[in-house]
Amino acid sequence: VIAHNYHKMPHLSKNPSKKTLRNPPLISIIIPSRNEERRISGCIQTLKTQTYPNLEVLIVDDSTDHTVEVIKNIVKEDKRFKIIKQKKLPEGWVGKPFALQQGSENAKGDWLLFIDADTQYDPVLIEKAMEYTLENNLDMLSLAPRHVCKTFWEKIIQPIPLGAILALSPLAKVNDPRSKVALASGPFILIKRSVFNKIGGYQTIRNCIADDVELAKLVKTSGFRLGFVNAQSMMNLRMYERFKEIWEGWSKVSFLGLVQKRGIKSKTFQILLLLMLLFTMFDLLVLPFFAIVISISMALVTGLTFWKHLLLFAFLTWLISTLALAYAQRVYRIGEALYAPLALLLGGFVMMGVLADSAFKTLSGRGVTWKGRRYPPVN
């Protein structure tokens, strides 16, 4: 399944395009920024070196740290860049969609490119993305990045949710206009401005935490052409750095994506599905390791053949799961595959906790939190 998904997904190439951009349309790049002083420098620097000749960059900022100073020190006199102070967040809006909507209202381009501040780009990426979009007559293109993991907890936790999303989602169907499957990645969403306006922009999905996926669904259900392409050789994303960020980041979307978006309205059935998911995660990710430890201990103490057979079964199960995760990490370039054995155990435990925490915050009515803001549950 992992191999099929990977090879069926189109890959963005650096090779010369069949379609020369003689009159490249203006692209308005829009970046939401909230306390990104540690991360945004790489993004701005790589945008300055883009080979695409006709672009403007709008940074919609809502920071209380030194993000603006960092940006100004890099941009200097480059007139393509403009910093916009984000307006006060209205009731009913999530922060990121509101920033992107405000940016779109100030944009001049025929194409809008929504990106994240924690992403870095190859100099030819935007040029190649636009060429691909025009060659394939797309109305919206989203690119899948390489996921950079540097700290211990990034390497241990990130492969579990990211590997599951990329390896198990029917990626090939996203590019099939006959299929209802829609997916997008927030670090790169290129959309035709006329299409964005026709679907109502982010106003239509103003209260959505997973705004990238919801925008893709909106585009596709409205009859427009959507593309989702692998660009891991030209695009790097570091989603989270610290354990707290990883926990909070996945907690805000895990229960929503795994349970609520399945159309289940009854809280009782939501809880039942949650328990099934937690049991499945424990069974696949954690149980094989404990079964190995228990089987070795009991085999040494009792000498019974049963425990030896159980040990063999548990070891094979653990080995297959570890190899599958390592393979997904390698082909989708998520962290380091050498950490797969530890990621399976510790990462599995952590993600079970994240899902349980996400469910509690949602079902209790407390709502999820992100970057100092609390958002009420949305069914």
pLDDT tens per residue, range 204-258: 999 988 899 999 999 999 999 999 999 999 999 999 989 999 999 999 888 887 7
Which one-letter amino acid corresponds to residue 104?
S
> Measured between alpha carbons, how far apart are the two ends of the chain, in Å?
31
| Rounded CA separation 84/31 (Å) | 10
The single residue listed with the structure tokens 């069949």 is 18
Percent of the chain with pLDDT over 70: 97
pTM given for the model: 0.90
List the chain domain ranges. 2-145+185-241, 260-375
| Rounded CA separation 332/32 (Å) | 26
Positions in the chain short of pLDDT 70:
18-20, 260, 262-263, 378-379
The third-level CATH classification (topology) of the domain covering 2-145+185-241 is Spore Coat Polysaccharide Biosynthesis Protein SpsA; Chain A (3.90.550)
* pLDDT value at residue 378: 62
How many residues are listed for the chain in this entry? 379
Name the E strands within the chain: 27-33, 55-61, 81-85, 111-115, 119-121, 140-144, 146-147, 188-192, 226-230, 235-237, 368-370, 373-375
pLDDT, one tens digit per residue, over 337-376 is 889 999 989 999 999 999 999 999 988 888 888 887 888 7
Tokens representing 163?
A: 């590997």
Q: What are phi and psi of 22, to 5 degrees?
A: -75, -40
Find the helix packing angle between 348-363 and 159-168, rounded to 10°: 80
Which helix (H) or strand (E) segment is 308 a member of? helix 305-332
